[in-house]
Structure 1
Amino acid sequence: MQGSSDRDGRYSTQARTSASRAWRRPRATSPAAGWSALIAAAVLLFANVANAAGPAVVATADRATWPQPLNTPAGFDRASRAEILAFAHELALSESLDDAALTQRLNLKQIDRAGVDRIRARYWQRLSGNYRLASRGCGAREAFCAPAADAAALRRLALAFDAAPEPAYAAWYADATRFHRIYLDEQLRLAALFARVSSEIDTYGSDELDGSELPDRRFLLTFDDGPSAAGGNTDKLLQTLRAHKLDATFFVLGQSLQQRMKAASPAQTYAGMCVASHGWEHQSHARWPQWQDSVIRSSALIKAQTGAAYVPLFRPPYGQRRADSGEFFRQQGVRVVLWSIDSQDWNAKMSPADVQGRLLSLMLLWRRGTILFHDVHDKAWVAVPWLLKQTQGARVDWMGCKDYPEAR
């Protein structure tokens, strides 16, 4: 993906370029043909503008405000409890908004209220379970350790969480309040658009996976949109992963892999990794008439070129896929894999430090999940070693790509 995101609502550089070229192309030789070309261009342009629905601001966290290291299980859990309470506080406050206020806050024309309520309910259950996991080692004087036995109790606790327990956490609290308000809006925005605009915020059934099903402290590294040209960011990332004895799942575009084959063997490039399909090219598989061919062609090419590295998974560009596509994927023997933690590393407004802080805060909040990176950009191979260093000793488990999905 050249300059676009795997998140709904991003208007890709590739899409802008295609639409612009369509308007400029003087191919028609008759008035009727000219009007047809203009209409087709307009449809393309406005279809792409419809994707320009993403938030103007994305959440970034300053982890330097947290006063203690995370490199022990107790340190990780303490920080995890704090992030859970901060996010739950914002989640609880958002429930007081009526439809008009929520629509205005999310900068949308309309919302799917049922979708928003469904995601909120799911979040309360996940947060409640995470808080209990993070509280298992609480001592009498531990910070952020007030008991909450269920989701209702956590909600009451979160509503009262309006000040840091002691001055040492004041800077963190100010930063976390801002971070979680913005992050919550990112998620509620996706929920408000679903299923009119599909995304990673929800699944269409148990066949689809997003990483929330993983055990506590287990994370899967995934990278989209590659490969880059030989010697580019994909190679730098692969070198970094191997240096740290990590593997990952690469969701590659068939078109990009075909280009890469001219310079390097995909089997050698991805040795020791897992390679899966991201489609033939980066288009929404919810609206593209050739979406089935895209999946079949890309999977066949990846399997033929990467051999043992191939895994029968598919990640839809932008997370967009058809609600009725489940039977097709079952027939193909392929599972849809989404994500639960978005690095936003594709975003030009995000520095490597922004990506790092965002990811670490979300790892503490959700305590498990599939992390979305993009290997064609230059932030992942900087961010991954930093995350490893920050969580070393915290019993974080970086899941082997061949073990996902786990046997059930």
Structure 2
Amino acid sequence: MRIALLLSACLFSLATQAAPLNVASLDRTTWPEQFTSPALFDVASRAEILMFAHALLTTETLDESTLKQRLGLKIINQAAIAELRRQLWKRLLENYNFAQQSCEQDASFCYLVENLEDLREQAGKFEVSDNSFYIGWAGPSRDFHERYLDELLRKAALFPQISSEVARFGEHERNGDELNDRMFLLTFDSGPTASGGPTDWLTDYLRKQKMNAIFFVLGNSLQTRVEKNPSTDVQALYQGQCVGIQGWQYRSHSHWVDWQSSITRSASLTQNLLPENYLPLFRPPYGQRRSDSQGFFQSQGLQVALWDIDSQDEPGLLKAQESANRVLTLMLLWRRGVILFHDSQDTAQAALLWLLHATAQSGLGWQDCRQAFR
């Protein structure tokens, strides 16, 4: 019986992962201004916050049957959805308050919002007039936020049977909430690649920009790299960067019998090979981990490192420019957070180049990886 239940859970998990996704991305050329100042970043931020808040408010009028149909699910966790909505409104209010501090410099999308009731009221009546300077952005943004909200609601609806980054299981799990306004942390999953691959390009590029990131490595990929290259070359690869772990293989750690061994083997290899770079952080593939794993992680001195800005740069999802557009839109919406790319993909290279260029004058900052998740 136990084996049958386990297989059933695994099949359910895999089916959910394999389900076709209408991944949200917004063409940033629809926004008529460049981010040549922090104030102009705030204008766009206020606009995205209000558009997302409008979409969120609209879903609250849906009954359970309609919401199930919209999310393509037969069973949904209403309590988890309610908690997600509460967290989203809290974050939206905080972010709008930050974004309206520059209203004296540019009053676009500035409304009197002092509390959550005010924000909900403004979100309910938010619309962009046909003769507005921003009308070309309004429709595509509305579509983006409806699709993006569905992504979040679907994950909440499946939680905790299928865990994800949308909610935490305890204080041992971190997602960047503690970052300051306009601060973002770059993270990369699924590496390292073979010598000369995307991992090499990204680490070299970041060093040249005097930036760093957390690279969450797979134990088997790191072992393969060490077997084919001197350990000193691998240490040079990650010079100036931080390294966490993703387990031995890129697979769900929520129903894998050997999940603990996967983590401890990877941690031992990484810490021994890269003691100057290693951070005691575990990034769960697909965001999936066990709800009862807190004791294990604490016994290993590990924290679970989640994220809140997903680039969706994996094969078959978004192209490089689409991924970059998505990340920038979510940076405007959330105003701080942990960005997830994959250094196993060429997509991340072009997306990162464009993203840094687009935000160079926007007044945002990049979190030092050594100070993250503290």
TM-score bracket, normalised by the shorter chain, equals over 0.9
The corresponding residue for 1:308 is: 276
Q: State how 1:55-204 maps to structure 2 within 5 Å.
A: 56-139=21-104, 142-164=107-129, 166-204=131-169
The TM-score normalised by the length of structure 1 is: 0.86
Q: Secondary structure at the match of 1:163?
A: coil
1:401 aligns with: 369
Letter in 1 for 2:353: P
Larger Rg: 1
Which stretch has the larger CA shift, 270-279 or 46-55?
46-55
The one of 196, 214, 222 equivalent to 2:179 is 214
Give SS of 1:172's match: helix
User: For the residues of structure 1 that align with 2:144 and 2:51, how far apart are their CA atoms?
Assistant: 9
Using the alignment, how far apart are the partners of 2:310 and 2:105 within structure 1?
35
User: Match for residue 385 of structure 1?
Assistant: 353
Runs of 4+ in 1 over 3 A off after TM superposition: 42-49, 51-55
The aligned residue for residue 366 of structure 1 is: 334
Structure 2 residue identity aligned to 1:114: A
Instruction: State the distance in 1 between where 2:57 and 2:50 align.
Output: 10
Q: Which of 186, 206, 217 does residue 252 from structure 1 map onto?
A: 217
Indicate the RMSD between aligned Cα atoms, in angstroms: 1.9
Following superposition of structure 1 onto structure 2, how do residues 339-350 of structure 1 map, counting pairs within 5 Å? Answer: 339-350=307-318
Residue 209 of structure 2 is aligned to residue 241 of structure 1: no
How many equivalent pairs are there? 367
Distance change >3 Å, CA 286–CA 141, structure 1 → 2: closer
| Matching residue within 264, 283, 296 for 1:296 | 264
Name the counterpart of 2:236.
268
Inter-CA distance 355–242: structure 2 relative to 1 (3 Å threshold): same
Distance 2:289 2:10 in 1: 20
Distance 2:271 2:303 in 1: 15
Is this contact kept in 2: 1:355–1:383, CA < 8 A?
A: yes
Letter in 1 for 2:313: D
Shift of 1:380: 1.1
| C-alpha distance in 2 between matches for 1:46 and 1:218 | 38
Show CA shifts across 1:25-71 (max 9, x none): xxxxxxxxxxxxxx9xx879845643336452100111001111112
What secondary structure, in the 3-state scheme, does the structure 2 residue paired with 1:152 have? helix
- Tell me, yes or no, if the aligned pair for 2:41 and 2:362 is still in contact at 8 Å: yes
Which of residues 287, 297, 319 in structure 1 aligns to 2:255?
287
Cα deviation, 1:78-133, whole Å, max 9, x if unaligned, reads: 10000000000000001000110000000111100010010001000100010010
3-state SS of 1:225 partner: strand
Determine the C-alpha separation between the residues in 2 that align with 1:43 and 1:209: 29
**Paired amino acid for 1:366:** W
Does the 8 Å contact 1:267/1:307 carry over to 2? Answer: no
Q: Runs of 5+ in structure 1 lacking a partner?
A: 1-38
Q: Deviations over 1:115-164 (max 9, x none)?
A: 00100010001000100100012139611001111122111100101224
Instruction: Give the conservation status (yes or no) of the 8 Å contact 1:72–1:392.
Output: no
The TM-score normalised by the length of structure 2 is 0.94
Shift of 1:353: 1.0
Q: Distance in 1 between matches of 2:122 and 2:365?
A: 29
Query: How far is 1:245 from its partner?
Result: 1.6
Preserved contact between residue 144 and residue 165 of structure 1 (Cα < 8 Å)? no
Q: Does the 8 Å CA contact 1:143/1:165 hold for their aligned counterparts?
A: no
AA matched with 1:370: V
Change (3 A) 1:45 1:218: closer
For residues 196-250 of structure 1, give each alpha carbon's deviation from its aligned partner in whole angstroms, at most 9, with x where no partner exists. Answer: 1100000011221011221100000000011111111111222221222211100
Q: CA deviation at 1:359?
A: 0.6
Residue 126 of structure 2: SS of its match in structure 1? coil
* 1:10-29 pair list within 5 angstroms: none
